[in-house]
Amino acid sequence: MNEDKSNMNEGQEESFAELLAGSSAPVRLVPGEKVEAKIVKITPDWTFIDINAKGEGCLPSKELTDKDGNFFVKEGDIIRAYFLRTEEGEMRFTTQIGSGPAARNMLGDAMREHILIEGTVSKEIKGGFDITLTGGARAFCPFSHMGLRRDEKKSDYVGLTLNFYVLEMKGRSATLTRREIVEAEQMKKAEALKDTLQLGDKISGVVTSIQKFGAFVDIGGVEGLLPISELAWERVENVGDILKKGQQVEVIIKKIDWENSKFSLSLKDTLPDPWDKAEEIFQPGSFHKGKVSRIVPFGAFISLMPGVDGLIHISSLSRDHKVKSPEEVLKVGQEVEVCIERMDRLNNRLSLSLAQFKKEESEKEETIERYTDSGKEERFGTNLGEMLKRKLEEEK
């Protein structure tokens, strides 16, 4: 330290030693107290700061260099530093959080003033991570405040050096958070997408997580939700049957909420709509075979082709008694023949009836019609005979 001071420019109006010696009002600081001071001199080993009392403090220059040893500050810059102690008549400062009372003061100050601090994830412990702060102090970050992505493993974070905010101080313990930092990063990425991402766009993405209700897809630094109902035109019971983590997919943007950075996606909208073909095939009055895909309290859904289901209402499941549950008549997976009653193309709905009943009704109607026509012929024949008989008698 003394050697560094002796190497300073002899032409300076007043040396640091003279300033320290001539200070009429010695600065009294407590360990951990924060100062904002101007850098007055940088040497390879020590950096000197003006603490506004005709005195200077010093801190290790390595604290102000990057990983390659390059300074990221210059003389004249204002930096924030914390007082450590007085040693050999010199006031020692640091920009890093060490240990002991000074560390607690620094962390408390960082919490009150919302100051970013740097730390390295040292290990995974119960409920979160053990963080070693720059300077040696230890702190804790819960899993819920780490900003973990759904596709990331907790173990992947061990060894990473990251920025944190101090969330809470309890005695000697400090709890950290990255949630705000991660959310800000996501908002920034979402802002960058605003100029390129539009409702209805088809974009490429990567599946980051599989859930019961759908899948999350990375669409350029932000995640969108692909609901299970938007995976395919047919009903999907298990998301994993369609998608796998890490799979690349093309999806359509269905909904955009820029304020909350939420995006709803669709995979089925990239596929041909089976109802276009269904409109031609399933004409009212036609008969088709299908399988019972699911049973609900009000009826049964029949799958006629992939993506096209029709409903047989519970009231149409019997002709001679009231059915209390569709399962009295049909079972899931059962093959059944149905008749198309109505097609609602606007809402993609088909109303069905059991072909058996429909055919019975048709046969009954045909029988009645034949009987009616036969009666007419018989009556017509009788009347004609009587008319001819009367005519012949009149002629005689």
What CATH number does residue 130 fall under? 2.40.50.140
Using the 3D structure, point to which of 219, 244, 270 is the last residue of a domain.
270
Is 366 part of any domain? Answer: no
How far apart are alpha carbons 366 and 360 in whole angstroms?
A: 10
Is 369 part of any domain? Answer: no
144 forms beta bridges with none
Q: How far from 174 is each of 162, 295, 392, CA to CA, in Å? A: 16, 55, 125
pLDDT bracket for residue 12 (50, 70, 90): very low
Range of 57-61, 365-369, 382-386 with top mean pLDDT: 57-61
28 and 78 fall within a common domain = yes
Q: What is the CA radius of gyration of the chain?
A: 41
Residue 118 CB burial class (10 angstroms; 0-12, 13-18, ≥19): middle
Using the 3D structure, point to which of 38, 63, 95 is the last residue of a domain.
95
Cα 112 from chain centroid (whole Å): 31
Give residues with Cβ within 8 angstroms of 112, minimum separation 6: none
How far apart are alpha carbons 39 and 112 in whole angstroms?
A: 25
**Region 65-86 average pLDDT:** 84
pLDDT at 389: 61
Residue 19 in contact with residue 52, Cβ under 8 Å? no
Give residues with Cβ within 8 angstroms of 44, minimum separation 6: 4, 61
Q: Output phi, psi for 176, to 5 deg.
A: -110, 165
How far apart are alpha carbons 42 and 88 in whole angstroms?
A: 20
Is 62 part of any domain? Answer: yes
User: To the nearest whole percent, how much of the chain has pLDDT over 70?
Assistant: 81
287 and 320 fall within a common domain = yes
pLDDT bracket for residue 304 (50, 70, 90): very high
pTM, rounded to two decimals? 0.55
Domains identified in the chain, total number: 4
187 and 173 fall within a common domain = no
pLDDT at 14: 43
How far apart are alpha carbons 374 and 148 in whole angstroms?
A: 83
Is 391 part of any domain? Answer: no
Using the 3D structure, point to which of 270, 290, 319 is the last residue of a domain.
270
Alpha-carbon torsion, ordered 381, 387, 392, 396, to 10 deg: 160
User: Where are the strands (E) in 25-160, listed by range?
Assistant: 34-42, 46-50, 56-60, 78-87, 90-94, 117-125, 128-133, 138-142
pLDDT at 270: 92
105 and 29 fall within a common domain = no
Residues spanned by the domain of 128: 101-177
